[in-house]
Chain A
Amino acid sequence: MNPFLLGASAPVLSKIPISTGVATALVALLMLTHIQFAAFQQGGYLILAVSDFMGWKRKDERHNRFAHGLLICLGATFAFGSALAIFAVMILFLGLWSVFWDTIFRVLFWPMFVEAISFVGEIICLYTLYSQWQRLGGVRGLRVGLELLLFVNAQIQMFCIDVMASYMLTPRPSSDLALDIFNPTMIPLEIHRFVGNIAFAGAMIALVGGVRILWSKGSTSRAYADWMGHYGLVWAIGFTIAQPLVGWEYAKEIQLHAYASWYSMMLGGLSVAFLFQVFLLGAIFTVGIYYLWRRVRAGGVRAPALAVCTGISLAAWLLISTPSSLAWSYEDVFAANANVPIWQGGLLIPWGEMIPFKLVALIAFTGVAIVAITVYLKHLSRGHLTWGSAGRGQAVALIVVGVAVSLIMALMGYIREDSRSPFLITDQMLINQQQNFTPPSSPGPDLNGPGSGVGVVLPFGPPLP
């Protein structure tokens, strides 16, 4: 923590006459939009560097063309996405959330300072590449190096933003900057987003590829769109594979260190949104693996292993999408005194429980996706795929994956931010920016406590006090 800032007196902050609800809606709308662009940048830079490197080393014209197109796209989306971020900081945070901004700035001055510096680094690298692409083609190693530097800059920014986001959820009561930075959910969030952003960028590329397959007229453009869709999807599925595991561990840390938020997500008012999130995750895996299977089939190869993978993924999707009760939350189940299975007249659906059913589904997604992507790459390396032969079904599958990934990205942001309610910073600041308050009572009934008689198996074992 910066001692100078700590010692400084707080500026006089006057509130703008706008309701907290409107301010929340404004910041949510803006930030969720910004996240879509920022995630694309974060993941896109790595895909850019890898594509350009492959085009260089393998003398592959498709990769060369793709890398240039991606760079132009990244330049344009950066302009818009960063404008949103600047607008958010200048207008929303300083104007509507000034007390919060002042507080967070005092605690996390250095991460935010580093982020600002790396933002400048990103601008320099990106626009050097943007304006000098052809000229840098003569020094290809330098160009790829700049792309990697761009990626590193973006990762530094993401790290700093993750510090802030994780701190808001699980702040450490300390004056030690290291403890503030590496708070309990920092690394899980960082890995979750690192992987997720690359998958997101891949899914957006797949989406564009799918749309272009449907729109393309000539065989050349169709072949390129087909390849582009496949290329994006391999990135998307390849990196989504890690998400069940990383997400699980992230949720576990939230349970251990911000139990109220965890309760809200898993059993409280946000549990339906969380259920929709795992439904989307199932859609990404199932439709993605279905694409891999049909894409190989379009090349004239049967690929029964991929068919089996699609079937298992479909079963896991059904399993993970099953609600654990026929109510909005567990509190409603208790309120209705219906905490018995549906066949006994209650509202509970036992096979919708997290353990073991949803856990089994998550393991199944991970396993079949690894097998599917491996089998698919094997067919690719054996030359079984011919570009341009993808049909409408595969194009639609690419679009579905892209839309599902975009939705899940927005939904995850909404769930994480809303789970802290009524806090803006857990246990430190209320959503109306009030800092001196009586802590609200712990949420929800004591599900595993003595005498509750519920017998519900919680997702991660008994709740902590």
Chain B
Amino acid sequence: MKEASTAPQRSRLAATLTRPVAGLLATTYRWVDERLGVSDLTHQLLYEAVPRRGAWAYSLGSATLIIIVLQIVTGMFLLWTYVPSTTEAWESLNYIEHHDEFAAIVRGMHLWGAYVLFVVIGLHMIRTFVSGSYKKPRELNWIVGVVLFLLVLGLGITGAMLPWDQAAYWTATVVTHVVDYIPFLGNWVQEILRGGPQMGPETLTRFFAIHIWLLPALLVPLIGLHLVLLRRHGEHGSWVNYEGVEVESEQHRAERMAHAESPYPALPSDPGYAVPVDLDQFFPSQVFKDAVLSFGLVILIFVMAVVVGAPLERAANPAALNYVPTPEWFFLPLDQILVQFPQAWMIPVGVFVIPGIGTTLLMLVPFLDRTPDREPWRRPEVMAPALFAVLFLIFEALLAVNRLFNL
């Protein structure tokens, strides 16, 4: 009774003290809201139905987004110091490493953020693939996701060239040399990338422009499209969210559909594509999971940046012909495939044909697997080749590590 009587008093006191500020804030918010519709937008963004089961796995998508934002922010910070010229790029980074601790950590976070991004985006794709979340009507979102993955790979390889140290210079040399093997167009593409027939100042300028302008200009709108499509069709999630829909009675199904929450359609064309059996709200439950995973990863990136940092080799020296360039770890499988082709005429097969076929098949997955089945066991036509592909990439990466270790 005593507590009950003091609580309203406390509340009244707080209201009295904060009234001037709260009133001002409320008035301002109402003014903005009337003009921008912030309340509606917030409600639309936060209050949405998502599948309840397997929700931790869905957080990989949000974590990917957060790390991309982190990459943009750390990249902006680096631009304050980095000079994109062959004479000053290495010097500027060397200055960061030895005289600017904050920038050195930011640079480390940019590097480790990229590494973690590759892992998280890979896991996100695997989750989507295994759960068959690309199925009708979400095919386009899968394709957009694959393109985003390729853009991130492009950002990774172009970013690796920017320090203009030995590793960067020789990576750029190898990459621009490899494109020369493109039938008919190779020389032309090589000159565009190098800015001439030889490696030179323009090479760095071009890769810098690709890294900070071209690829982000493609990446950001595609991320927007990815999110819009996700919101349009709703999270498909794991197949376990649809367990039992095949055998449920018509009456039960009709009842479930009648209570379908946005964005799931109330009148589905197929029960397998429709509203999950068990729903939850995006806010707060999914947002909490997303925040925990993303926060954990950002902490991991920060710790790696502080403890390990980002390496910087000696300044680029085109005369150092005994230098053996090693690719970034996410390109190890491709590097190993390349060395398996013993004759020059076969190199395009290893560099373009095999990865090209693999990428095309990856994009076409929703059109190759059109049955409503989503349980992995019932989709061997895509699961078996995908398993072989993943094992192939793992084996190639391990073999590449062993080869490079024994150079």
Question: Is B384 positioned at the interface, with any CB of A under 8 Å from its CB?
Answer: yes
A241 to B392 Cα, complex, angstroms: 10
Question: Is A373 positioned at the interface, with any CB of B under 8 Å from its CB?
Answer: yes
A374 to B387 Cα, complex, angstroms: 11
Question: Is B403 positioned at the interface, with any CB of A under 8 Å from its CB?
Answer: yes
- What chain A residues lie within 8 Å of B398 (beta carbons)? 187, 191
Binds B, one of A246-254, A266-274, A309-317: A246-254
Whether A377 contacts B380 by the Cβ 8 Å rule is: yes
Contact of B395 among A184, A246, A370, A380 (CB under 8 A): A246
- What chain B residues lie within 8 Å of A377 (beta carbons)? 380-381, 384
Question: Is B80 positioned at the interface, with any CB of A under 8 Å from its CB?
Answer: no
Contact of B384 among A179, A253, A373 (CB under 8 A): A373
Whether B403 contacts A242 by the Cβ 8 Å rule is: no
Q: A368-407, CB under 8 A of B: which get 1 and which 0?
A: 0010011101101100000000000000000000000000
Whether B385 contacts A370 by the Cβ 8 Å rule is: yes
- What chain B residues lie within 8 Å of A245 (beta carbons)? 392, 395
Whether A249 contacts B399 by the Cβ 8 Å rule is: yes
Question: Is B30 positioned at the interface, with any CB of A under 8 Å from its CB?
Answer: no
Known: A249-B340, A460-B342. A378 touches B402 (CB 8 A): no
| Min distance, Cβ B276 to any Cβ of chain A, angstroms | 21
Known: A187-B398, A460-B342, A461-B342. A241 touches B388 (CB 8 A): yes
User: Which residue of B is nearest A459, CB measured?
Assistant: B342
Question: Is B377 positioned at the interface, with any CB of A under 8 Å from its CB?
Answer: yes
Kindly name the residue among B379, B401, B402 whose own CB sees the greatest number of chain A CB atoms within 10 A. B402
Kindly state the interface size class of chain B when it binds its partner.
Answer: 20 to 34
Whether A378 contacts B381 by the Cβ 8 Å rule is: yes
Known: A370-B388, A381-B377. A187 touches B343 (CB 8 A): no
Across chains A and B, which 4 residue pairs bring their CB atoms closest together, nearest first? A377-B380, A187-B402, A184-B406, A461-B342
Contact of A188 among B388, B392, B399 (CB under 8 A): B399
Whether B380 contacts A242 by the Cβ 8 Å rule is: no
- What chain B residues lie within 8 Å of A460 (beta carbons)? 342
- What chain A residues lie within 8 Å of B339 (beta carbons)? 252
Question: Is A186 positioned at the interface, with any CB of B under 8 Å from its CB?
Answer: yes
- What chain B residues lie within 8 Å of A378 (beta carbons)? 380-381
Whether A187 contacts B340 by the Cβ 8 Å rule is: no
A184-B406, A245-B392, A355-B342 given; name 20 further pairs at CB < 8 Å.
Answer: A172-B406, A179-B406, A182-B405, A183-B406, A187-B398, A187-B399, A187-B401, A191-B395, A238-B384, A242-B391, A252-B340, A355-B343, A370-B388, A373-B384, A375-B381, A377-B380, A378-B381, A381-B378, A381-B379, A461-B342
Question: Is A106 positioned at the interface, with any CB of B under 8 Å from its CB?
Answer: no
| Min distance, Cβ A174 to any Cβ of chain B, angstroms | 11
Q: B354-398, CB under 8 A of A: which get 1 and which 0?
A: 000000000000000000000001111100110010011001001
Question: Is A257 positioned at the interface, with any CB of B under 8 Å from its CB?
Answer: yes
Whether B399 contacts A370 by the Cβ 8 Å rule is: no
Known: A191-B398, A248-B340. A253 touches B403 (CB 8 A): yes
